[in-house]
Structure 1
Amino acid sequence: SLYFVEKGNKKSLLLHVLKDTNISSVLVFTRTKHGADKVVKDLMRAGIKAEAIHGNKSQNARQRALSNFKNRETRVLVATDIAARGIDVDDMSHVINYELPDVPETYVHRIGRTGRAGASGIAFSFVSEEEKEELRDIYKLLGRPIPANEDHPFHVSFELTGKSKAAPAPVKTAALMHASLRIAALSVSWRIVAIKHSYTLSP
């Protein structure tokens, strides 16, 4: 589901969402390495155990962070898209898109990280007005809107009218068809059946 929020309130919204103890194991996506580190610092200051995984981390540091996440020693793993390709966790309960990706297909891969091995998973996306174009591109790729959750203290409203900055033709890939099915299910129960991805970790 979508959470419409001002860019400056994303940190507060994340802390608000994580008050829910049912969110036991969550992968948070940011666009940049610096952004990932900043989110980790914000969470740690709030007493939430978090670690970052991105290309500036050594291989040992990435493996240690991933091991801590799998063993539930770390509740929140914050990752960039490239580093997240090496994450293979079967029972991860939630994915949070702290920032929408520039490439709409990346959204499909992100939400596919939840609910592996036949389990259920939930994906949240924090969307600021500055990300309207990215959201429109995701809508175009999926062929449908994504349900929004307005029941939070930082909700804002803004128009999504206008042209997309990119206009990709519909591509009926397996990943896209799976994503469309997941979004349809999401409108009823916010539950997503995830797809499996190959592991390719770039430096």
Structure 2
Amino acid sequence: MAKKNTHQNDADGNQEAGNPRRDFLKQSTLITAISLSPGALLKAADAKLDDKFAAYLEKIPLSLEVNGVKHNLSVEPRVTLLDLIREQLSLTGTKKGCDHGQCGACTVHVDGQRVLSCLTLAVTQQNNKVTTIEGVADGEKLHPLQEAFIKHDGFQCGYCTPGQVMSGIACIKEGHAGNDDDIREYMSGNICRCGAYHNIVKAIAEVNKEGLPI
């Protein structure tokens, strides 16, 4: 037996229950009504909006480890991991490129996994271990992949290089650097506007082939 349809349809044939278009229209109508209401009502509505906005900006305690150093911070819920790293911790090696997760310049490691820090909310990183480009070298000794980038001219302007290196290290650790095609595939999220891709692939392939500790 067919189930009875418990949803009513509007004039356009859309289901009334849970309809995003209808919900949007209701919200828009409410906002319009408030804006045309007497001053007292408008002030009350503004107060509620101010309270919600203030709650949205209220800082939250956050503890995490960055490059082996533990930090106890207070951050707004809207702050990205990228902005936390750059603005609160002054680790500006990680770059802000597109700020939409499309260029890879902001790539860092979280618990050993590469992530796009511009799309990652800082408050979600409670007790996690974050590694930025500043944390891959051993003092004055560069990371093997950093040395390989220099050897093979894997960069030109250098803006994308921190993200390329961080992603390249992860690519090798993940076992995706066995051949040039795999490297290109698993590095495709990192854009180099200068077009140094060929040399980037050579640098990653060499480090992977030599089996150097990363």
Highest RCO, 1 vs 2 (Cα 8 Å, sep ≥ 6): 1
TM-score normalised according to structure 1 size: 0.24
Pick the structure with more helix per residue: 2
Q: TM-score, normalised by structure 2?
A: 0.23
